[in-house]
Each structure stands twice: as C-alpha cells, then as structure tokens.
Amino acid sequence: MSLSRWIAGAALVALSLPIAARADYHLRSPDEIDEGELELEHNGAAGFDRNAVNSNARSFTAEIGYGVNSWWHPELELGFERAPGPGQSTNANQVVWENIFRLTEPGEYWADLGIYAEYGFSTVGHAADSTLFGPLIEKDIGPTTQTLNLFLGKNVGPNQDNHGYDLSYAWQGRYNLWRAFSPAVEVYGDAGQIDRIGKFQDQQFLVGPVAVGSFLIGPLGKFKYETGYLFGATRASANGTVRWKLELEIPI
C-alpha cells in the first residue's frame, strides 16, 4: 500500500478531530471505492416505539460521490431529520463531507482496511457541527463477507453541547447468495461518550436482518439496494427501525 494513502488519511483524520458525530444506519466498506464512477445515493431510517414520545424519528440523506482514484472516495451529503415524538417536522439539518480512504488492496492481507472521516456542517441555528472518523475493516470468510466500522465522533464549534468523544460501531455479516439478493445481519451500537460509558441498557443497540443486492444496468452502470429491520435491544433504542439505502453507480 502506498505511503501517500496513509499520509492523506492521517492528515484528514487529524484535521477532522475537533468535529462532531452523527449516527446513521448503514455500513461503510473499505472496498467501496469505484474509481472514475459517479455515485448517487439515498439513505433512510424510520424508528418506531411503543412510547409515542420516542417514536417516528426519521432521517434521510441525499448524496453524490465520486471515485477520484483507486484509494479515495469523497461524497457530499445533505441530511434531513425528524426528531421523535408527536408534532415534529422533517428539516434539513446537515451538509456532510464524507471520505473513504482505502489503505489495502482487497484480499492482499488477512483483512481489508480503510479509514472513514467526515465533517458535518450544521444547517440548524444553534446546533453544533460534527465529525466522525475511524477504521473500516472487511474480510471474506468462505461465502460470507464481514464488515466492521468503529467510529469516534465529536461535536465542535461554538454550539457544541459536550466536549467528549462518542463511540459508535456497526457490523454486517452477509452471506453472498446471489448478486440480486444476499441476506445479512447487522448490528448498530452507540456507547455514548467514551470516557463515561454507562450501562448497556442506557446505550443504543440495534440488531436485525437486512437484504442486500445489486443489478447491472448496462451502460448506465449499477443499481444497488439495502433494506432491513433493526430491533432495538436496549431501553435507549427505539423498539424497531426500518432502514434502507438506494444507490446508483454511473461510470463516467
């Protein structure tokens, strides 16, 4: 792996350290760099809970990305959010610059390794900006692919409401059945501030089945989808969350 990749990834991580965290439900892979391809992506999540105060949280994103080279994939994202509870509205809340740096060639070492770093600019008055960074790890085991994300996030700017780093993580175990459909299991967790991690029941932890697939669409490229239902396993989590991702990859 080239020294320049390590330097670029480390520099971006260092520059993005003082920025805040934003949680969303989809895994990032160190191997999702598609050099020379334009990517249009939409992610969504809808939470449901028996307690109306904690129900109907919504988040949506519209993203555009590009594979600049074989190891760097930046994306620009517009985020929308609806807070849980009755009487809430859906509003644009963030513009996020995301980056994936691939540090190793797929299959060259025991596991594939990348770095993820993002900066979120708040579009809501008196809300903090945010940053998120951490390793992306992926490994094929037989007919399955295991993907792990470990993130530290932080609020930053004059409106930050805390000064600590938040630890979040996500894992997907996927059985590669067919291109159009492969079943997977996903876990998403948020342990809270890393220097004051509380009881597990007070942390967010969701687990559930997901369907993953893609279709080749000739010269237009490829259409990808993910959809699933995540069960909340702690009292700090919504009872259930539907999540989905739609993506179009266009070679240009």
Partner 1 sequence: MRFLLASCAALLAAGSALADDAVHLSIRDHKYEPARIEVPAGVKFKLLVKNEDPTPEEFESFDLKREKVVPPGQEIAVFLGPLDAGEYKFVGDFHQDTAQGVMVAK
Nearer to partner 1, 105 or 202 (CB): 105
Per CB under 8 A, 109 contacts partner 1: yes
CB of 250 to partner 1, least distance (A): 11
CB within 8 A of 196, min separation 6: which ones? 164
CB of 135 to partner 1, least distance (A): 7
Per CB under 8 A, 193 contacts partner 1: no
Exposure b/e, 196-232, CB count within 10 A at least 16 = b: eeeeeeebbbbebebbbbbeeeeeebbebebebebeb
How many helices (DSSP H) and strands (DSSP E) are in the chain? 1, 12
CB of 130 to partner 1, least distance (A): 20
Q: How far is CA 245 from the centre of its chain?
A: 11
In whole angstroms, give the CA distance from residue 212 to residue 177.
Answer: 10
With CB under 8 A as the contact rule, the residue among 21, 27, 96, 113 that binds partner 1 is: 113
Nearer to partner 1, 42 or 179 (CB): 179
Binding residues for partner 1 (CB under 8 A): 34-37, 67, 70, 104-111, 113, 135, 137, 140, 145, 150, 176, 178-179, 216, 218-219, 221-222, 251
